[in-house]
Amino acid sequence: MAIISDDEGLEKRVKRNPIVKSETIEYDNLFENSIRPKDFDSYIGQTALKETLKIILEAAKRRGKPLDHMLFYGPPGLGKTTIAGVIATQMGVEIKITSAPSLERPRDIIGILMSLKGGEILFIDEIHRLNKVAEEILYPAMEDFTLDMTTGKSQTAKTLRVPLPKFTLIGATTKAGELSSPLRDRFGMIHRLEFYSVDELAQVVMRTAGILDISITEEGAKAIAKRSRGTPRIANRLVKRVSDFAIVKYDGKIDETVANESLDILKIDEFGLDNTDRALLSLIIDKYDGGPVGIETIAAALSEDVRTIEDVCEPYLLQAGLLQRTPRGRKVSPEGFRHLGRIIPSMQTSLF
């Protein structure tokens, strides 16, 4: 499977070195990529999605046709890139991975489309950030497998239709709502990835520990899973961090006590919240009486950008029921007050 570029680090690396753009980056060098499951058997969780995909893939194989274009959305770290890689393996085709912010100029997207071979998968991460020109190049490419190119100027301008091989576009986004409807309508399948259960994350932790040769008990894996915010990417990072503690401070083996003590030192609490999450909740409670308060105000006060708060912190705080989104801004829920050990406002007034 030829992979061009990874998902998360791409934008940063492009900024540092624009040559990286959409060139090949060694897939297996990166930690996350080295432990990514490559087929359905090793991919844990997202059961409903896997079952649907198995049918879709089998049908496409029997028809001898490429797969429909697919859009995966949901919070970061739930395996959008991973599932695209699994689909490629299962179909026995190549996947080219890129990210919308690196498709700035028309020639970037045209270059990638022209490099595709029949049946191949093009994966575009953060597809909601595609610019208008790139989007318009994609429409006929997705619908009719053609590239409409204009040559010459005004009166002498000619439109050239270049046929493309039949490929499958897999788009991924944390913000499905920001996709334009013409683009959204061109996907044959749209699927939301769900947060993982503690049991599923414990399996992810055991699998990763096995690959990395880390010694761990089932209780240790469960303790890490509980603090991983429903997210396998976080679970995998925590296994490594806890393993560092286990080697330096304990006998190398991760059990429940080692996991809990290490995560306490890392200031990751029983809900998996870190300092930023707790700072966000405390800010709303202390400065805005629990809210509602606008996201821009929260971001400015925390010196974070709005996108990081919206994409990284909020989804889990909302899912865990610690934060609420209202038309007038964000509010800390009674559960959020309780989690931080604060008095819930209605209880406070009832005291008087």
Is 107 annotated in the active site? no
Looking at beta carbons only, is 119 or 232 nearer to ligand ADE? 232
* 289 catalytic residue (yes or no): no
Say which residue the tokens 């060694």 belong to: 26
Q: How far is the CB of 157 from ligand ADE (least distance, A)?
A: 48
Query: Is 125 annotated in the active site?
Result: yes
- Nearest-10 crossing angle of helices 275-288, 295-302: 120
Residue number, 83 or 183, with CB nearest to ligand ADE: 83
Per DSSP, the three-state class of 194 is coil
What are residue 322's DSSP bridge partners? none
Q: Which is nearer to ligand ADE, 191 or 207 (CB)?
A: 207
- Active-site hit among 81, 82, 168, 173: 81
Question: What are the two backbone dihedrals, phi and then psi, of residue 96, each rounded to the nearest 5 degrees?
Answer: -110, 125
Q: How many CB atoms lie within 10 A of CB 285?
A: 19
For residue 124, give the 3-state DSSP assignment. Answer: strand
Please confirm, yes or no, whether 233 is among the known catalytic residues. Answer: yes
Q: Which one-letter amino acid corresponds to residue 190?
A: I
- Kindly state the smallest distance separating residue 46's Cβ from ligand ADE, in Å: 7
What crossing angle do the helices spanning 218-226 and 198-211 adopt, rounded to 10°?
120
Catalytic site includes residue 28 = no
- Looking at this protein, which amino acid is placed at residue 69? H
Strands 323-326 and 329-332: antiparallel
Question: Out of 36, 80, 186, 330, which one is annotated catalytic?
Answer: 80
42 vs 257 by CB, closer to ligand ADE: 42
232 versus 336: smaller Cβ distance to ligand ADE = 232
User: 95 or 138, CB closer to ligand ADE?
Assistant: 95
Taking the CA atoms of 245, 235, 171 and 85 in sequence, report the sign of the dihedral they define. Answer: positive
Tell me the sheet residues that pair with 332: 323
In DSSP terms, which residues pair with 163 in a beta bridge? 146
Applying CB under 6 A, the residues found at the interface with ligand ADE are: 35, 37, 42-45, 79, 82, 204, 207, 232, 236
CB of 44 to ligand ADE, least distance (A): 4
Q: Is the peptide bond before 37 cis (omega within 30 degrees of 0)?
A: no
Sequence-distant (≥ 6) Cβ neighbours of residue 286 within 8 angstroms: none
Q: Which is nearer to ligand ADE, 37 or 336 (CB)?
A: 37
Find the shortest distance in angstroms from Cβ 222 to ligand ADE: 16
Strand 146-151 with 158-163, pairing: antiparallel
Separation between Cα atoms, residue 173 and residue 86, nearest integer Å = 18
DSSP 8-state secondary structure symbol assigned to residue 196: P
Which residue out of 174, 208, 226, 229 is catalytically annotated? 174
Q: What residues act catalytically?
A: 80-81, 125, 174, 233
